Structure 1
């Protein structure tokens, strides 16, 4: 799986593989600030993948009679729309979308805390989990 995910990432966002290497290097540290930085880098990777797969649009799009924002900051909405456009299987769309929403909410919470200047406490175990989830979700999205 790793080879296929890395290959697909190189095709759409070549810097992602290097960023994941940097993330893993941060995990080797004993400093919880480095672990938080690793998690924040995962958020940036997801956003860059979204930018590559479904670039931001200035105007909302209509989906099932509802307007959905798909601008610069709505990278999760854009990835969900990408998933919708690529998968014909409702269960796959639902599963990947659920995982994506879960990991993005977690990463956004860490990001918001960092932006407020709060010390972001992330344990090594949490950081490892977020990184693995990020990698797996990206792999699922790219496999559609």
Structure 2
């Protein structure tokens, strides 16, 4: 039987936390990133990618990190996302700030580069005096070595401190995730908050979509082959019901590229893409999604293909779980646009709140 994502997480955490002492900081951060991705934790994923990729002076603009920020905004709202992103960026800057000779600049290298630099500096620092030289040459070599060590010792302390801070941050994240899973919290707070927002919004805007998502969740929990297939098809029903509520079937339209797009009942993916496109300039979140409309179309197709598997073949647990999670994520994205453009106020629920 295929492992569930929960099983995978427990296995990864057990291995990493049991053997962390022998892992490099890079390996520990890579493991933490894998956990964040499996857990759909966009906030942790964003700062761990920065640690592993390095901090660009022009800012964190990689497509992966931009997508993390967009997902976080869909889950918790733009304002709250900015607060959370600001907090993790400030923490990252603090980890990478180690003043040396009055220089308080941030070390922006990737953690792998920092570790390589540390090893190279250590090699220079520990370079021994060549044996067999004359007393005068040995004395001069000793003086030069002392000068070199006077320079490299502070560098080693600075580099080692930064590496240790990053290592501790990755380790602390793994410990926190393990603690949450042991307590039965299988998803991060951001995911729980996002799902609460989606469910509250769908109750008003698209009750049929909410019913389909609830059915998908129930089927996923049952876990047998037939239930997993039904979970996937329920996700497809939820997506279509949301499309019907946000952009009902209509006459064909001509898009920005001059291509005629069918907007009938069957082509609900077209309708959702056009819904986002038509709300550019009216919604911050629509602008975010529309900035890469091709990615949105690909997401819709991939999710639709995954959901459609339930009709034709056996669906593995991991795929059914991913299908439900990404249906929630897609709904959150679209419902944020709806909230900003239609004035549909939905009280933001907090995990565990009433």
TM-score above 0.5, yes or no: yes
Question: How far is the alpha carbon of 1:97 from its aligned partner?
Answer: 5.8
Unmatched runs of 5 consecutive residues or more in structure 1: none
Q: Aligned match of 2:232 in 26, 33, 39?
A: 39
Match of 2:295 in 1: 98
Separation of aligned partners in 2, 1:3 and 1:113: 26
Q: Which moved more, 1:40-49 or 1:98-107?
A: 98-107
Cα gap change, 1:123 to 1:139, in 2 (>3 Å): same
2:308 matched to 1:111? yes
Higher alpha-carbon deviation: 38-47 or 87-96: 87-96
Structure 1 residue 103: Cα displacement: 4.3
Change (3 A) 1:103 1:31: farther
Q: TM-score, normalised by structure 1?
A: 0.82
Q: 1:4 to 1:113 in 2, by over 3 A?
A: closer
* C-alpha contact (below 8 Å) 2:217/2:231 kept by paired residues: yes
The CA distance in 1 between the partners of 2:273 and 2:307, in whole Å, is 21
Asked if 2 retains the 8 angstrom alpha-carbon contact of 1:80 and 1:97, the reply is no
* CA deviation string 1:6-58 (max 9, x = no partner): 2221121123333322211111224212101101110011001101111111x
How far apart are residue 101 of structure 1 and its match? Answer: 3.1
Change (3 A) 1:109 1:14: closer
Q: Max radius of gyration: which structure?
A: 2
Question: Please, which moves more after superposition, 71-80 or 90-99?
Answer: 90-99
1:72 aligns with 2:269: no
Q: Which runs of 5+ in 2 are unaligned?
A: 1-193, 338-354
| 8 Å CA contact 1:96, 1:137 repeated in 2 | no
Higher relative contact order (CA 8 A, sep 6+): 1
Partner of 2:15: none
> 2:206–2:242: 8 Å Cα contact kept in structure 1?
yes
RMSD: 2.3
For 2:276 and 2:203, locate their aligned partners in 1 and report how far apart those are by CA, in whole Å: 19
User: Equivalents in 2 of 1:48, 1:87: separation in Å?
Assistant: 22
Q: What is residue 167 of structure 2 aligned with on the other side?
A: none
